[in-house]
């Protein structure tokens, strides 16, 4: 296959993926609307039953509460799925990754403190610009830090580092949680795979999809008892060539 055929095949695959993502997002939206109506009516039913003291009515209330809980869980899964379906739709512009990370840390720090988690930033002051979608990158940061937070229910440390190496801009997110074994690491980016009760299994797959849509990569280093390190690498933004003659000293 020559370069022209390769690019044509790649464009066909991207178009097919975009079509599938659009269909999946539309389906999730159509499911969410009636599900919201069901949950709203369950809320009203629960309020009616709360006023009754008959043991049989209390059993009915317990059943309604379980159904309502399952509806909420389904809504959370649908929300996560819609995020996953839209993860490749970028509105990218040249931006400073360091400022995005710094802003996110200030936003997230109060929540971290409530869970006994210390945030330790080590951010380079001279990162080259990258082309990225600020909203989606914030989603990446939220997913990875929340993932680390849930792995450390008794508190711990989350370290965020940025630096440049070999023509790419790096972001590392490191936690002092229990770590993961090789089997868990090999499956964690698979859609709907989750080791957490009630999890959607779409958080890390969404992160990978967003990073890859930016032309970047994400890797994970982890061992049981030694914490977890996520390593994100993004290409530097291509800078426009200076106008011809720019920078010359007039003769």
Is 244 inside any structural domain?
no
Specify whether 124 is located in the same domain as 193: yes
The model's pTM: 0.66
The reported pLDDT for the residue numbered 119 is 95
Report pLDDT digits (tens) over 157-211: 999 999 999 989 999 999 999 999 888 888 888 766 566 655 556 778 888 888 9
Query: What pLDDT sits at residue 232?
Result: 96
Range of the domain at 97: 93-235
Are 24 and 80 spatial neighbours (Cβ–Cβ below 8 Å)? no
Residue 247 maps to a domain: no
User: How many CA atoms lie less than 13 Å away from 93 in the CB half-sphere?
Assistant: 5
**Three-point CA angle 234, 239, 244, nearest 5°:** 165
Per-residue pLDDT for 89 more than 80?
Answer: no
Q: Where are the beta strands (DSSP E) in the chain?
A: 93-95, 117-123, 130-132, 156-165, 168-175, 217-222, 228-235
Per-residue pLDDT at 145 exceeds 90? yes
Tens-digit pLDDT profile for residues 71-83: 877 777 776 666 6
* Domains: count for the chain: 2
Same structural domain, 108 and 64:
no
Residue 240 lies in a domain: no
**Residue 148 contacts residue 228 (beta carbons within 8 Å):** yes
């Amino acid at each position: 296959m020559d370069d022209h055929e390769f690019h044509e095949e790649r464009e066909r695959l991207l178009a097919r993926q975009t079509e599938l993502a659009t269909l999946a997002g539309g389906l999730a939206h159509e499911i969410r609307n009636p599900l919201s109506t069901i949950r709203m009516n369950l809320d009203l039913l629960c309020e009616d039953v709360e006023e009754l003291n008959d043991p049989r009515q209390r059993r009915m209330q317990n059943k309604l509460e379980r159904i309502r809980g399952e509806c909420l869980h389904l809504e959370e899964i649908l929300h996560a799925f819609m995020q996953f379906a839209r993860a490749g739709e970028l509105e990218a512009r040249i931006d400073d990754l360091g400022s995005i990370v710094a802003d996110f840390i200030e936003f997230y720090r109060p929540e971290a403190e409530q869970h006994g988690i210390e945030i330790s930033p080590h951010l380079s002051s001279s990162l080259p610009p990258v082309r990225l979608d600020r909203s989606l990158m914030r989603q990446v940061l939220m997913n990875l830090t929340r993932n680390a937070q849930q792995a450390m229910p008794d508190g711990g440390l989350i370290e965020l580092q940025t630096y440049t190496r070999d023509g790419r801009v790096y972001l590392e997110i490191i936690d002092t949680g229990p770590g993961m074994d090789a089997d868990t690491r090999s499956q964690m980016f698979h859609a709907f795979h989750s080791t957490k009760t009630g999890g959607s299994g779409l958080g890390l797959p969404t992160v990978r999809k967003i990073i890859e849509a930016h032309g970047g990569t994400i890797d994970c280093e982890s061992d049981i008892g030694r914490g977890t390190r996520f390593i994100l690498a993004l290409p530097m933004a291509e800078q426009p060539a200076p106008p011809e003659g720019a920078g010359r000293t007039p003769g």
